[in-house]
Structure 1
Amino acid sequence: MYISDLTLSAFRAHDDFKISFGERINLITGPNGIGKTNLLEAIHYLCLTKSFVSARDATAIREGSDEFVIRGRFVDGGTQSRSVSLQYSKATGKTLQVNKATVERVTGHVGLLPVVVFSPDDYGITAGGPEERRRFLDNMLCQASKTYLADLQNFRHALKQRNSLLVQATSHTATFRSQLDAWSSEVVRHGARVINRRRTDISLINSYLHDSLEQLGLANEVPEMRYRSVPVGDVDRGTSSGGRDLSLEEIEERYFEALVEAGSNDMARRRTSVGPHRDELELFVNGRPLRNYASQGQHRTFAMALKLAKYHYLYKLCETKPILLLDDAFDHLDPERIAGYIHLIQDKLECQAFITTANPGVIESIVQWGDPNRHFNLSVMIGALEKE
């Protein structure tokens, strides 16, 4: 699947903008602030109905407008295609249409057009806090499984209600206890499903992570991801610390026990302290914690390997090649490393990719070592539009 056409109306830097893309590498250049990232963000909106830049849709509306509209045409490589339109209005919110039919629940759309974003912020996945790694894992699993997406949404709703109850509690009456028990049961029921899916998919993701490091020329490095979940104890390679795999029912039991044990602490702090929202995804290379021992360059390489593993994982489970969005991802790399990545994308993955940069050296390396289907200089394109 690839996107062939994109139209933007009142979206960030672009008032009325149309562009057609190639099936493989699309190089987007121009000075900072011209709107390169906006194009990638718009594609991401059409794929996942949300931005990778900001959590607030309203910030993407061009100044002076009340709404933005993004339209795109996706082709499956044959003759079939689908048109996707996303509109966000300050008055009515977000509306998604596929082939001119309104999509009532976006959960049914997520995963149909898989996408992977590469950016300088990826450094935070390996060097940042656990919330960065949970976000990375959740994004991957939500695109691959509508069941996981629903479980995660239900867990977050139940968690929000439980935390709200803890904050508002002034006395521990029978009514309060009854409501707390009810929401605790919902937190456990949905949270256990989230934990179970995370831990069972780690072994598959690990295999793709190892392959990805090999593709990046680091075959001697042995990577590993370990999922640590407080409710069920240490989880390593999909099993409990005792070496025995756990059933969903056993995870629920352990989670409930952990929640009861943390009851006094939760009451005092007025928030839920255990669950998948606090779990950790630990990264290792050759048995050593990446976060403590890796150099800055190793962090960047491992982050790139994680995103490549995500690509392979989504390709396997979604059964269609994800679109790659590389936003200034090559700006800190030397020409030899850039050449290796271009060769990988162009000759091995053979998927559609979008690369943005304002760096003349990066542009020269990509043009020298690759064969971009399209090279868009936004300064020239926008200048031509302004003259019309």
Structure 2
Amino acid sequence: MYLEKLSLTNFKNYEDALFTFSPQVNVLVGPNGSGKTNLLDAIYFLALSKSAFHTLDALSVTHEEDYFILDGIFVRPDTDHDRTTQITISLQRGQRKVILADKKPYERLSEHIGRFPVVLMIPNDTDLVRGHSEERRQFVDAVLSQLDPEYLQDYLQYQYVLKQRNSLLKLFSDRNGRAVDHDLLDTYDEPLLYIGQRIHDRRSRFVTEFLPDVQAHYTYLSDARETINIVYDSDVSKMGFDDLFVQNRSRDIAMQRTTMGVHRDDFEFLIDGMALKRFGSQGQQKTFVIALRLGQFDQLMAAKQTKPILLLDDIFDKLDDGRIAKLIQRITEGSFGQLFITDARPERTEQLLANVPGDVRYYQMGQPTP
């Protein structure tokens, strides 16, 4: 699968632009602020219906404009004939975004997620290691949402029930604990526990399936200097969690939020049995997150029976020569499908990709955004 064409109207710094891409390697070059990352985000948005860098869709609209439109053609090569799908995403300020597949709307926007798998690798991916548990949950949830439509539905439903329960807890707290309607809370606890268990089980199975891929990539990139592991930490794993959850109700009311559940899960990254966050070097942390993304690529490829689009944003500036050489070797071997690379130094990229076979195209981005 690959993205053949992309049209952008009022998307970030692109007022009106049209690109035709190589099904193999596409290199976006130009100074910082010229729109390289914004173009990657447009591809990500077209595939997943959201930006990779912010949660508010309206932030993707060009300054002082009222709307944006993304329109692209995805191609799935076939033995008989290539199958194409036109995806159009538009947003008018103050309104809900519209997603069309071959000019027809989805019954549910979530149906779009996972149809066109994509993996984005960015310089601050190391925040997955150094940051809070929320960032690691978001990573796992994003991968599983592309892999498993049922997981995505469970996740959305869980977030909805959790929001409703938290609103109710705040209401009871404002009453200083008087007139707490425990029967009403029960109606939220039951689905939250049931859906939470499903989410927990799927996350647990995902880690089991995902870890060997990550370990294999880390071993390749690091020349097997150390071993890594991922440990899933969840309240739901505790014995008698359902009873503990109910017993925790008074604390929830005092805190005005649900303090136990899968929304508090974490994924601990280990190196030689120790916390990567505390004991891993910068090089080890970078290697780990690259292995995470390549493991994500493998999982999506196996589930979707097609190679995901791989977006590499400015990673050559953040990697040493050894790791760059390993990645280039994978590109040369044809391990990936359609690939997008951004770089502010075109001469460096041309040298690195000199021996990569196939259709390698370069795109000179415009001037830096003021």
TM beyond 0.5: yes
Structure 2 matches for 1:86-235, cutoff 5 A? 86-169=89-172, 170=175, 172=177, 176-233=181-238
- Check conservation: 2:2, 2:309, Cα contact below 8 A: yes
Instruction: Report which structure shows greater RCO (CA 8 Å, sep ≥6).
Output: 2
2:301 aligns with 315
> In the alignment, residue 75 of structure 1 is paired with which amino acid?
V
1:6 aligns with 6
Using a 3 Å threshold, how does the CA distance of structure 1 residues 25 and 99 change in structure 2: closer, same or farther?
Answer: same
Alpha-carbon offset, residue 360 of structure 1:
5.1
Match of 1:373 among 335, 360, 367: 360
1:248 aligns with none
1:241 aligns with none
Alpha-carbon offset, residue 92 of structure 1:
2.8
> In the alignment, residue 264 of structure 2 is paired with which amino acid?
R
Number of corresponding residues: 362
What secondary structure is seen at the aligned counterpart in 2 of 1:75? strand
Matched, 1:293 2:279: yes
1:343 aligns with 329
Q: Which digits, 9 at most, give the CA deviation of each residue in 1:5-61, with x for residues without a partner?
A: 100011111111001111111110111111111111111111110000111111111
> In the alignment, residue 106 of structure 1 is paired with which amino acid?
L
Q: Distance in 1 between matches of 2:289 and 2:100?
A: 34
TM-score, length of structure 1 as denominator length:
0.89
Structure 2 matches for 1:30-41, cutoff 5 A? 30-41=30-41
1:244 aligns with none
Alpha-carbon offset, residue 358 of structure 1:
1.1
Q: Distance in 1 between matches of 2:336 and 2:160?
A: 39
What secondary structure is seen at the aligned counterpart in 2 of 1:93? coil
Q: Distance in 2 between matches of 1:289 and 1:379?
A: 43
2:18 aligns with 18
Alpha-carbon offset, residue 182 of structure 1:
0.9
> In the alignment, residue 72 of structure 2 is paired with which amino acid?
G
> In the alignment, residue 281 of structure 2 is paired with which amino acid?
S
What secondary structure is seen at the aligned counterpart in 1 of 2:88? strand
- Check conservation: 1:24, 1:346, Cα contact below 8 A: no
Alpha-carbon offset, residue 129 of structure 1:
1.4
Q: Which runs of 5+ in 1 are unaligned?
A: 234-250, 383-388
2:47 aligns with 47
Alpha-carbon offset, residue 192 of structure 1:
1.1
Structure 2 matches for 1:265-276, cutoff 5 A? 265-276=251-262
- Check conservation: 2:118, 2:308, Cα contact below 8 A: yes
What secondary structure is seen at the aligned counterpart in 1 of 2:71? strand
Alpha-carbon offset, residue 184 of structure 1:
1.3
Q: Which digits, 9 at most, give the CA deviation of each residue in 1:72-94, with x for residues without a partner?
A: 10111231111111001114320
Q: Distance in 2 between matches of 1:95 and 1:112?
A: 17
Alpha-carbon offset, residue 213 of structure 1:
1.6
Q: Distance in 2 between matches of 1:369 and 1:264?
A: 65
What secondary structure is seen at the aligned counterpart in 2 of 1:277? helix
Q: Distance in 2 between matches of 1:50 and 1:365?
A: 34
Using a 3 Å threshold, how does the CA distance of structure 1 residues 361 and 135 change in structure 2: closer, same or farther?
Answer: farther
What secondary structure is seen at the aligned counterpart in 2 of 1:32? coil
1:333 aligns with 319
Using a 3 Å threshold, how does the CA distance of structure 1 residues 331 and 365 change in structure 2: closer, same or farther?
Answer: farther
2:72 aligns with 72
Q: Which digits, 9 at most, give the CA deviation of each residue in 1:324-349, with x for residues without a partner?
A: 11111221223443232122134142
Q: Distance in 2 between matches of 1:129 and 1:344?
A: 31
1:246 aligns with none
Q: Distance in 2 between matches of 1:106 and 1:31?
A: 35
Q: Distance in 1 between matches of 2:70 and 2:5?
A: 11
- Check conservation: 2:219, 2:227, Cα contact below 8 A: no
- Check conservation: 1:343, 1:369, Cα contact below 8 A: no
- Check conservation: 2:6, 2:72, Cα contact below 8 A: yes
Q: Which digits, 9 at most, give the CA deviation of each residue in 1:350-382, with x for residues without a partner?
A: 3111111213564254344545611111138x9
- Check conservation: 1:4, 1:72, Cα contact below 8 A: yes
Alpha-carbon offset, residue 258 of structure 1:
2.3
Q: Distance in 2 between matches of 1:174 and 1:333?
A: 59
Q: Distance in 1 between matches of 2:179 and 2:150?
A: 35
Q: Distance in 2 between matches of 1:350 and 1:194?
A: 30
2:290 aligns with 304
Q: Which digits, 9 at most, give the CA deviation of each residue in 1:287-342, with x for residues without a partner?
A: 22211210011101101001101110111122221111111122122344323212
Q: Distance in 2 between matches of 1:350 and 1:277?
A: 33
1:262 aligns with 248
